Structure 1
Amino acid sequence: MSNATNNGYRVGAQSEWFDKLPDGKDLDAMVLRVRKIIEPWLTAVFQAEHLNLLLGSGFTTAIGYLCDATATGMGTRPLGTRFDEKIDSFAASGAAKMGRGAPNIEDQFRTAFALLEGLNIGGKFEDINSLKTALDSRMSEFLSSLFSTERGIASSEETKWRGAVTALQSFLLSFASRAASRERLHIFTTNYDRLIEYGCDLAGIRVIDRFVGALEPAFRSSRLDCDYHYNPPGIRGEPRFMEGVIRLTKLHGSLDWAMDNRTGNIVRRGIPFGPADHSPYIPNSPVDTVMIYPNATKDVETTAYPYAELFRDMAAALCRPNSVLVLYGYGFGDDHLNRVLLDMLVIPSTHIVVISYSMDARLTAFLHRAGREAQITLLIGPHFADLTKLTEEYLPKPAIDHISSRMSELLRNRSYSRADESPVTREESLTEGEA
């Protein structure tokens, strides 16, 4: 592997890295050759007993790119308080320790929230009020930008929108189309937007999460492994698992999660995908109500409710034998998640598939820490991370195709006469051979 911008793959014992991709027919030939290596491998990997998918901000960026929609910027901006210099300095040092480079808005929020908690203990009212007002304003802007990203995707030009949602649905169905007898796909995401839910609605995928209720579903701590079943015709008392069902865990919260101060419950509001500017769905004091979680870098911060439950779900899903995790658009900048991934790889039968736009410093550092090449599949570079190419060329067929599997089984049980190409059963062939 030469540099961070190259396209390349490592699949089992085979690997290949391209300084420059060919053009025209040579590119088509390369794709066809490489597909014969990658697609069967991923098909086999996806048949693991436990299949999981972790999506980061790169997933929203990829869909936004297909729609010409601008993804939410994660850069920092001044809060406008007298504490800005100290907040930025502390956020920068924390990001440096994480190996993340420049701090992002989550680092800034995390530091400002920690300072606000300290001021609530022994600070002046003026400082508390000033910082709280600044945080409410900055968080409202951040929520508006997230809604704007959703709106840019939903309202994009017709042709681009159809291409984007086709890629979105194909991507999700490639993972979700598991036989109902296998355990459900579990999707984890650090994103605050509702792009996954949007894609599942369009594809007709049923989502199971921890929320229970009709008008305002409330977050529940009970893990009952609820599922969807149906009664097949003519059979009573033998319900079967439905196909096209997934589990979803949003590790850092969601735009539509809110704290109901009257009941004390965390509820999911009925907010449409991509609402208009100056939406009434954005509260005046999002700091007190909206349940989105700035990037956690300390263990103590992940103990807050409900995030401890969500991280516990992730660890329980990944750290067990015969578990597979596919990562797309995840930048390896969250140490509390990386720790779970490293613990997962301690189990020899687990496997991780990394699909990334580049081999950057954070991914390289993670691979060095893990050190288990046989348990890590890599698809790196703009070519392999391109969502359209990925779904069309390399991911397994997004369908539960019983007809093709039955046809293959039928052909295996038959041979053909060389003279007239007429089908001959295995029993007839054996009889002729014995004669």
Structure 2
Amino acid sequence: MSEKEEPLNILKVRDDHEPLQFAVNGDKFKIQSAAQVSWLKSDEFDQKELRNRIEPWLTSLFQSEHLSFLAGSGLTHAVHYLAAGKGAAGMGALTLSNYQAEIDKAAENAAEAAGRKKGNLEDQLRVANELLRGLEVLQKNTEAAALSTELQTGMQDFAQSILCSEAGIAKAEEFKREQAFNTLVTFLMSFASRTGVRDRLNIFTTNYDRLIEAGAELAGLHLLDRFLGNLMPIFRSSRLDLDMHYNPPGIRGEPRYLEGVARYTKLHGSVDWLQTGKDIRRFGLPFGAGSVEPYLQAPGLGEATAQKLIIYPNAAKDRETADYPYVELFRDLAAAVCRPNSTLVTYGYSFGDEHINRVIRDMLTIPSTHLVVISYDDPLGRIMQTYKEIGRPSQISLLIGPALADLSTLTENYLPKAAIDKTTFRMSELLKQRWGTEQPNHPEKDQPNDGEEPL
């Protein structure tokens, strides 16, 4: 059977010295690598053994002093597949009247440098934007105007592909759509349900869609980002000064943290962010809207066009992160993860953005930090390549493959059920107290230890 028909799964958690490769063998799993596995008695094991190995480890990591979550395009594809039975909509190619061959060649080179097989619409738009600036510098106004018009059409098509992915979920069959969103809510709350004494969860995403925002609304999760206001929120640099607290009735003293609050950063912008003059605003764009154009005609947006949308197609180079607002967004990423006792969990991120990888490498120079990589697959091998290049295996956990990272399987079996953890702990303490006086199955424990009085 080919690898495509039976993909390998890669696991590395706890004290594993090297990643364990295994394949699905009926209702069991079979080891495919020659790695020495101390926690298994044979080369076959079941999901129960896998859960006992993974879930307590992730539960412990999720209660680190600082927890961050980075979502890549794999999250959108996973939820879209649950709702519609297929992956999210792809991006088309940019069609230009002039310089098409030169732009395509430069896009291919950029994709190759980033470790991808071929260029995509993002690469083409990035190169075309650079060319437009060059034509403006050379004062080739006619060519610059023609290219600008075609770029506007390209950006509109790019935004349309993002909305198509949202619409594929929003317009799916009701039962499947609800099942997909329930899975997403469970997934998000596994991260967000942290105790009040812990730092807030930091959510980062490279996606332009609003899937996480939609899931947060259904979950009752409050997202704190850099936008302030209600009608047309404006991007501010004061996000880190905001939080949400409450005063319990009859309690004096400092207010307590409100549960279900997370900090949220979209590293590459969003389909509903728009540059208006010197400001960046978030405008009202329904989830899965048919087109972005009608919502750009609102008063106060001026002569807004799709070309002014803040969806940055520059993932291959990191020069853009020095520009506003990306400098603020990437500063949030570095400030959140590059500190002691911090855990970063990635889902559906292929490690194709070098500016993000650099921050992760810097984070792992702190010995008390940990990286958890969860991905449905690694088709280009970039995850394992990055794992080997970083050279800090004791600080990295890997859950790669459909048997581990399928969104439904992951939420049902391996992610912590944070909502019941506190109840479980209280039950355990209660049972310990009762066992201290009543343990018929362990008579030797009924005897007092040296220096203790009988109960």
The two structures have a TM-score, normalised by structure 1, of 0.91
- Between the aligned partners of 1:96 and 1:270, the Cα distance in structure 2 is 37
Change (3 A) 1:367 1:126: same
Give the conservation status (yes or no) of the 8 Å contact 1:58–1:329: yes
Equivalent position of 1:9 in the other structure: 11
- Between the aligned partners of 1:408 and 1:37, the Cα distance in structure 2 is 20
CA positional deviation for 1:406: 1.6
SS in 2 for 1:246: strand
Q: Sequence identity of aligned pairs in percent?
A: 49
Does the alignment pair 1:290 with 2:314? no
SS in 1 for 2:340: coil
SS in 2 for 1:378: strand
Does the alignment pair 1:392 with 2:415? no
Does the alignment pair 1:114 with 2:149? no
CA positional deviation for 1:412: 2.3
Structure 2: runs of 5 or more not aligned: 31-43, 298-302
Alignment of 1:168-179 (within 5 A): 168-179=184-195
CA positional deviation for 1:94: 1.4
- Between the aligned partners of 1:175 and 1:426, the Cα distance in structure 2 is 43
Alignment of 1:236-255 (within 5 A): 236-255=252-271
- Between the aligned partners of 2:439 and 2:276, the Cα distance in structure 1 is 74
- Between the aligned partners of 1:275 and 1:120, the Cα distance in structure 2 is 34
SS in 2 for 1:347: coil
SS in 1 for 2:294: coil
* Residue from 84, 87, 90 that aligns with 1:73: 90
Give the AA of the match of 1:417: E
Equivalent position of 1:22 in the other structure: 25
Change (3 A) 1:282 1:103: farther
Equivalent position of 2:363 in the other structure: 344
Give the conservation status (yes or no) of the 8 Å contact 1:98–1:333: yes
Equivalent position of 1:183 in the other structure: 199
CA positional deviation for 1:282: 5.5
CA positional deviation for 1:420: 10
- Between the aligned partners of 1:32 and 1:306, the Cα distance in structure 2 is 46
- Between the aligned partners of 2:137 and 2:211, the Cα distance in structure 1 is 39
Equivalent position of 2:39 in the other structure: none
SS in 2 for 1:99: coil
CA positional deviation for 1:25: 6.9
Equivalent position of 1:406 in the other structure: 426
- Between the aligned partners of 2:90 and 2:316, the Cα distance in structure 1 is 20
CA positional deviation for 1:252: 0.3
SS in 2 for 1:65: helix
- Between the aligned partners of 2:284 and 2:319, the Cα distance in structure 1 is 31
Change (3 A) 1:334 1:25: closer
Alignment of 1:366-381 (within 5 A): 366-381=386-401
Give the conservation status (yes or no) of the 8 Å contact 1:414–1:425: no
Does the alignment pair 1:327 with 2:336? no
Change (3 A) 1:128 1:183: same
SS in 2 for 1:72: coil
Aligned length: 428
- Between the aligned partners of 2:227 and 2:99, the Cα distance in structure 1 is 38
- Between the aligned partners of 2:285 and 2:342, the Cα distance in structure 1 is 34
CA positional deviation for 1:281: 2.4
- Between the aligned partners of 2:243 and 2:281, the Cα distance in structure 1 is 21
* Residue from 438, 442, 448 that aligns with 1:417: 438
Alpha-carbon displacement from aligned partner over 1:120-155 (angstroms, at most 9, x marks no partner): 111422211111111111111111121121111112
SS in 2 for 1:255: strand
- Between the aligned partners of 1:48 and 1:401, the Cα distance in structure 2 is 15
Give the conservation status (yes or no) of the 8 Å contact 2:68–2:344: yes
Give the AA of the match of 2:434: R
CA positional deviation for 1:400: 5.7
* Residue from 265, 289, 306 that aligns with 2:325: 306
SS in 2 for 1:243: coil
Alignment of 1:35-74 (within 5 A): 35-68=51-84, 70-74=87-91
Change (3 A) 1:225 1:290: same
Does the alignment pair 1:272 with 2:275? no
Alpha-carbon displacement from aligned partner over 1:358-404 (angstroms, at most 9, x marks no partner): 23321122112101110110001112110000000000004164332
- Between the aligned partners of 1:104 and 1:285, the Cα distance in structure 2 is 26
CA positional deviation for 1:295: 2.2
- Between the aligned partners of 1:420 and 1:79, the Cα distance in structure 2 is 76
Equivalent position of 1:362 in the other structure: 382
Alpha-carbon displacement from aligned partner over 1:192-241 (angstroms, at most 9, x marks no partner): 00000000000000010011112111101125431100110112443111
Aligned-residue CA RMSD (Å): 2.7
Alignment of 1:126-205 (within 5 A): 126-205=142-221
Alpha-carbon displacement from aligned partner over 1:306-340 (angstroms, at most 9, x marks no partner): 00100011011111111110010111111111111
- Between the aligned partners of 1:334 and 1:107, the Cα distance in structure 2 is 12
CA positional deviation for 1:101: 2.2
Give the AA of the match of 1:385: A
- Between the aligned partners of 1:277 and 1:418, the Cα distance in structure 2 is 67
Deviates more, 1:228-237 or 1:174-183: 228-237
The two structures have a TM-score, normalised by structure 2, of 0.87
Deviates more, 1:186-195 or 1:223-232: 223-232
Give the conservation status (yes or no) of the 8 Å contact 2:14–2:397: yes
SS in 2 for 1:413: helix
Give the AA of the match of 2:205: T
Equivalent position of 2:114 in the other structure: 98
Change (3 A) 1:124 1:33: same
Give the AA of the match of 1:352: L
SS in 1 for 2:372: strand
Give the conservation status (yes or no) of the 8 Å contact 2:23–2:29: no
Equivalent position of 1:83 in the other structure: 99
Give the conservation status (yes or no) of the 8 Å contact 1:295–1:334: no
Give the AA of the match of 2:246: Y
Give the AA of the match of 1:268: R
Alpha-carbon displacement from aligned partner over 1:41-60 (angstroms, at most 9, x marks no partner): 11111111110000001110
Structure 1: runs of 5 or more not aligned: none
CA positional deviation for 1:407: 1.8
